[in-house]
Amino acid sequence: MPCHLIRDYTHWRAKIDRFAILAILFFFASGCFGPESAENEKIRRRNCKGEPIYRAHGEYSAAISPPAHTPRGPYPWERSAPRITRDFFRCKGDPSHPPIPNPADPATPISDCEGSTRHGLPILRGKETVYPILIDLLNFVQEQTGKKVIVTCGHRCPKHNTYSDPSKENLVSKHQIGAEVDFYVQGLEEKPLEVVQILLDYYKGALFQRYEKKDVRVSTPPWMNQEIFIQLFQAHEGRDGDNSHPYPYISIQVRSDPDTKERVVYEWKKAHLGYPRG
Ligand SMILES: [Zn+2]
């Protein structure tokens, strides 16, 4: 390459390098001088000398209340019983249960369902659950007693319903539509009336009537209001596949949905088709 061309190249190369350095510096510097928010601008103008701001002790523009001790609630592992959720209501059917004799047809024994891993809870208003009032009532009992509620029977799919109790009257059980629960309270097994009183207290004095008709399977007249129907099964009453324990137990049926005010009644379609199956 001729000598003068090399000189020109070196000259222009130096100019380009200088331009590049200036461009990079400008790029970084531009970040420091960006548009300022109106609030920052106001603060900068108030303190235009940029002096540090000191605050005298106790000088506050807003009143601050003195610190108060807030006792913390119990951690989940410190509770006497875990909160009741819809999972406590899942069908207690189990395919390992042996078939039972069929009173209507001795040639075809009754077998249990595939279990809650193969089917879900009823679908209510688009959600897989049971009637929420049942969950609320059981949690209320746990809060008031500090004791554990044992759910012996929540949702029953029709197959497990027949397996637990093949009697005709049980065909229309509300367990099948997620509107009934059977339970007892650990530590209060022999004091079910105390538990019934807590259920009545939940309604804060709202009127309950006693159901005096004899078309029920309990000797104690049930309690009922607009929303629920409470039955007390004594130790010799209501023994079925799910309630084979030796204690009295309480059954709550939903009569009307407190959220929608609709009557809750057994329907074949709801019971047999209204829950997801795997
Ligand atoms: Zn089932």
Residues 120 and 174 in one domain: yes
Say if residue 41 is in the same domain as residue 96.
no
pLDDT at residue 103, as a whole number: 83
Is residue 55 a part of any domain in this protein?
Answer: no
Return the residue matching tokens 């367990």.
175
Cα of 91 to ligand 1 centre, how many Å? 5
Distance from the alpha carbon of residue 139 to the mean position of ligand 1, in angstroms: 24
**What is the whole-number distance in angstroms between the Cα of residue 250 and the centre of ligand 1?**
21
Report pLDDT digits (tens) over 205-230: 778 999 999 999 999 999 999 999 99
Residue 82 C-alpha to ligand 1 middle, in angstroms?
24
> In angstroms, what is the span from residue 119 Cα to ligand 1's centroid?
7
71 inside domain: no
The answer to whether residues 155 and 258 belong to one domain is: yes
Does residue 90 belong to any structural domain of this protein? yes
Distances (CA, A) of 112 to 28, 57, 73, 153: 74, 75, 42, 15
Domain membership of residue 56 (yes or no) is no
Distance 160 CA to ligand 1 centre (A): 5
pLDDT value, residue 30: 58
Q: For residues 95 and 160, is the Cβ–Cβ distance under 8 A?
A: no
Would you say residue 183 lies in a domain?
yes
Instruction: List the domain range (segments joined by +) for residue 36.
Output: 3-46
User: Both 214 and 123 in a single domain?
Assistant: yes
Distance (angstroms) between ligand 1 centre and the Cα of 228 equals 24
Distance 156 CA to ligand 1 centre (A): 6
How remote is the CA of residue 196 from the centroid of ligand 1, in Å? Answer: 28
Q: Which residues surround ligand 1, an ion (CB under 5 A)?
A: 91, 93, 113, 157, 160
23: its two tokens: 């461009």
What's the CA-to-centroid distance between 249 and ligand 1, angstroms?
21
Considering its fold, how many domains does the chain have in total? 2
Q: Could you report the average pLDDT of every consecutive run of 10 residues in the chain (278 residues)?
A: 63 77 71 64 72 72 83 78 95 95 89 95 95 97 95 97 94 97 97 97 91 95 97 96 96 94 95 93
Same domain, 215 and 90: yes
In this structure, the answer to whether residues 126 and 228 fall within a common structural domain is yes
Q: How far is the CA of 38 from the centre of ligand 1 (A)?
A: 65
Q: What is the 3-state secondary structure (H, E, C) of the chain?
A: CCHHHHHHHHHHHHHHHHHHHHHHHHHHHHHHHCCCCHHHHHHHHHCCCCCCCCCCCCCCCCCCCCCCCCCCCCCHHHCCCCCCCHHHHCCCCCCCCCCECCCCCCCCCECCCCCCCCECCCEECCEECCCHHHHHHHHHHHHHHCCCEEEEECCCCHHHHHHHCCCCHHHHCHHHHCCEEEEEECCCCCCHHHHHHHHHHHCCCCCCEECCCCCCCCCCCCEECCCEEEEEECCCCCCCCCCCCCCCEEEEEECECCCCCCECCCCHHHHHHCCCEC
Residue at 60 is within a domain: no
Model confidence pLDDT, tens digit, residues 69-85:
988 877 777 777 899 99
Whether residue 130 is found in the same domain as residue 11: no
Q: Tell me what pLDDT residue 5 has.
A: 58
User: Rounded to the nearest whole angstrom, what is the distance from the C-alpha of residue 253 to the centroid of ligand 1?
Assistant: 19
Q: Would 57 be classed as within a structural domain?
A: no
Cα separation, 197 vs 205, whole angstroms? 11
User: How many Å lie between the centroid of ligand 1 and the Cα of residue 268?
Assistant: 16
The rounded Å distance from CA 136 to ligand 1 centre is: 23
Is there a domain that residue 51 lies in? no
Both 121 and 259 in one domain: the answer is yes
Looking at residue 263, its pLDDT comes to 96
